[in-house]
Structure 1
Amino acid sequence: MITALHTLIYCDDPDSARAFFRDVLGFPHVDTGGGWLIFATGPSELGAHPSSWEYEGTTGGTDQRFDVSFMCDDLSATMAELAAKGAEFSGSPVEEPWGVTVGVKVPGAGEITIYEPKYDPPALI
């Protein structure tokens, strides 16, 4: 039976990205050998979204097939805590129908969304 979700993030600079996950986000980890760190990321959830949609009169779509986001209880507090550890954000928080979001820059790996959901996350039930 499935026991967990394993997520991969492909990086141009994996050492910098691993240091960010370890030192800034504080994720517990194991070293599987040679500095290949695998991080515990807590509870997870999985959504199946349409690749095209219409919502409140607006249509959209994506060629994207997978997405990774981090969830938090209080986005403002999380941003303040991460900024104190050197995290950089791309813009200000944005109100979405499903939560408040912001992008955080992952050194050597691009950007990941952090969000405070407006729903009761099944990962936390």
Structure 2
Amino acid sequence: MITAVHTLIYCDDPPAARAFFRDVLGFPAVDTGGGWLIFTTGPSELGVHPNAWEYNGQAGGTDQRFDVSLMCDNLTATMEELSAKGAEFDGEPVQQAWGLTVSLKVPGAGPITLFEPNYDPPALN
């Protein structure tokens, strides 16, 4: 029986990325040895999408095979809270078909999408 999803983020500076997830995002963690932190990320959901699509008369596509995003219930408030802790964002929020999104910079790892879904997330039901 599957009991959870384990997500990996590969980065150039693991200590910086781990500190960001622990200190800025406030994710609880356990040290599995040698400073290798495994974070509790709370509820999760898994979407399976096509790599090419057409929606509302616009076509799109991606070469990505996997993606990790963080969800919040109020993007503006979350951005303010994280900014006060030193988080940086790449650009302004953008309204997408699935929700309001922004690119959150993860030190030592690169950007990750932070979004406020405009659907009722099954992970929270």
> Which of the five TM-score ranges fits, normalised by the shorter chain?
over 0.9
- Deviation >4 Å, runs of 4+: none
Which residue does 1:94 correspond to in 2? Answer: 94
Which residue does 1:15 correspond to in 2? 15
Deviation of 1:113 (Å): 0.4
- How many residues align? The count is 125
Normalising by structure 1, we get a TM-score of 0.99
Q: CA deviation at 1:107?
A: 0.3
Structure 2: 5+ residue stretches without partners: none
Once residues 14 and 66 of structure 1 are traced to their aligned partners in structure 2, the CA distance between those partners, rounded to angstroms, is 20
Whole-Å Cα distance in 2 between the matches of residues 45 and 65 of structure 1?
16
Q: Between the two proteins, what is the percent identity of the paired residues? A: 77
Paired position in structure 2 for 1:32: 32
Q: Note if 1:114 corresponds to 2:110.
A: no
For 2:84, the aligned partner's letter is A
CA shift, 1:60, in A, is 1.3
Residue number in structure 1 paired with 2:54: 54
Unaligned runs of 5+ in 1: none
What are the Cα deviations for residues 60-105 of structure 1, in whole angstroms up to 9, with x where unaligned?
1111000000000000010000000000000010011110000100
Q: Deviation at 1:58?
A: 1.3
Distance 2:74 2:58 in 1: 29
Query: In 2, Cα distance between the equivalents of 1:83 and 1:53?
Result: 34
